[in-house]
Amino acid sequence: MKILIDMGHPAHVHFFKNTIRCLEQKGHHILVTARDKEVTLALLKAYGIEHIVLSSMGHSKGDLFKEFIIRDYKLFRIAKNFNPDILMGILNPTVAHVARLLRKSSIIFNDTEHAALAQKITYPFTDVVCTPSCFKRDIGKKQIRYNGYHELAYLHPNYFTPDPDVLNEFGLNKGDPFIILRFVSWGASHDVGHHGIQNKMEFVKKLEKYGRVLITSEGELDDALKKNRIKVSPEKLHDLLYYASLYVGDGGTTAVESAILGIPSIYVSSLAGTMGNFTELEEKYGLLFNYNDSNKALNKAVELIQDPSIKEEWNKKREKLLRDKIDVTKFMVRYIENYSDNMEFRG
């Protein structure tokens, strides 16, 4: 089988990397295309995934519209030459459009309920939309629900083993208390009009009483925060998260990743409460806390970091989650291989 996968964001590389490896080991031919956005290309290189760059991320709305046209055109030409059986992506309108034009099958994955515009220009053209079982919206007959999260495609213990060597890069030892703060750029189309942590300096001042505060940020930081900023290779971020005492940030994906790794996680965003995976991780598993109020989030962070038994407690919560959920990569591989034979396959 020939499969084309388009990567539009760094998280997409993590999501698909094990599926690509498994499919190639089974003899399938994979072609990867990518958008030059943040560390997407660096991750592809780090994982040894050959790829073709379609476009670079713009800044203005005009740039985004121009890029959208370029991506559709370039992917159409590449796909026509490659002649795939299936095209795949994460809420990727370009994949859906090109597949429809070429009369090929397309499989779209999505876990972001509030990305309304992208859904409107993707769903009508795709064949299947795979979502977590906790996804809050009913898409209809095209929807395939699976009992997992995107992040379990790469953080499930079957694929992820933390490397403690990453601690040496920051002068840390196992057991040293440290907190990771994550700030995003809010530049995605579905982020327009939303916001995250407002009082960044206050978070640092209060939390550094209990351990080192390490900041990762997509955008520029005030001078007072730059001393806390770290540069970690994107493929090593999950190793660092695993050994953290606490995660706090307006980065949603990193919040879910931390929760799945058994790290107390606090998500601060005006989007809190709108996405099924965040709600389930809080209400069913107690691994993550959602806040749209920065002050309440900070109070919770101080409370959690002072709890001496929290690591053991969160490990137990994580074990329950892993017992409940499926190996998402295994589901993806099985679904793809069975797709042409059984459209109604469920993982």
pTM of the complete model: 0.92
Q: Could you tell me if 127 and 107 are in contact, meaning their C-beta atoms sit under 8 angstroms apart?
A: yes
What is residue 110's three-state secondary structure?
coil
Angle at 241 between CA 309 and CA 202, to 5 degrees: 80
> What's the maximum distance between 2 C-alpha atoms anywhere in the chain?
59
Q: Could you tell me if 114 and 136 are in contact, meaning their C-beta atoms sit under 8 angstroms apart?
A: no
What is the secondary structure of 172-184 as a DSSP string? --TT--EEEEEE-
Cβ-based burial of 57 (10 A; exposed 0-12, middle 13-18, buried ≥19): middle
* CATH topology for the 2-148+326-338 domain: Rossmann fold (3.40.50)
Spatial separation of the C-alpha atoms in residues 94 and 217, rounded to whole Å: 28
Domains 2-148+326-338 and 164-324 share a fold: yes
Spatial separation of the C-alpha atoms in residues 246 and 139, rounded to whole Å: 35
Q: How confident is the model at residue 346, as a pLDDT?
A: 37
- CATH number 3.40.50.2000 given to 164-324: yes
Q: How confident is the model at residue 219, as a pLDDT?
A: 80
Question: Of 148, 130, 134, 135, nearest to 326 (Cα)?
Answer: 148
Q: Which residues in the chain show pLDDT less than 70?
A: 59-61, 185-195, 340-347
Q: Could you tell me if 30 and 20 are in contact, meaning their C-beta atoms sit under 8 angstroms apart?
A: yes
Q: Which residues contact residue 114 at a Cβ distance below 8 angstroms, ignoring those fewer than 6 apart?
A: 190, 271, 274, 275
Q: Which helix (H) or strand (E) holds 265?
A: strand 265-268
Helices vs strands, H then E, count in the chain: 13, 12
Neighbours of 303 (CB within 10 A): 12
Question: Of 340, 258, 332, 342, nearest to 22 (Cα)?
Answer: 332
Q: Which helix (H) or strand (E) holds 108?
A: strand 105-109
Q: Per DSSP, what are the bridge partners of residue 132?
A: 146
Spatial separation of the C-alpha atoms in residues 223 and 235, rounded to whole Å: 27
What is the β-pairing status of strands 246-249 and 178-183? Answer: parallel
Spatial separation of the C-alpha atoms in residues 11 and 24, rounded to whole Å: 20
Spatial separation of the C-alpha atoms in residues 302 and 300, rounded to whole Å: 5
Q: How confident is the model at residue 218, as a pLDDT?
A: 82
What is the secondary structure of 2-42 as a DSSP string? EEEEEE-SHHHHHHHHHHHHHHHHTT-EEEEEEEE-TTHHH
Q: How confident is the model at residue 198, as a pLDDT?
A: 84
Length of the chain: 347
Q: Which helix (H) or strand (E) holds 74?
A: helix 61-82
Give the residue extent of every domain in the chain: 2-148+326-338, 164-324
Spatial separation of the C-alpha atoms in residues 248 and 246, rounded to whole Å: 7
Q: Could you tell me if 264 and 246 are in contact, meaning their C-beta atoms sit under 8 angstroms apart?
A: yes
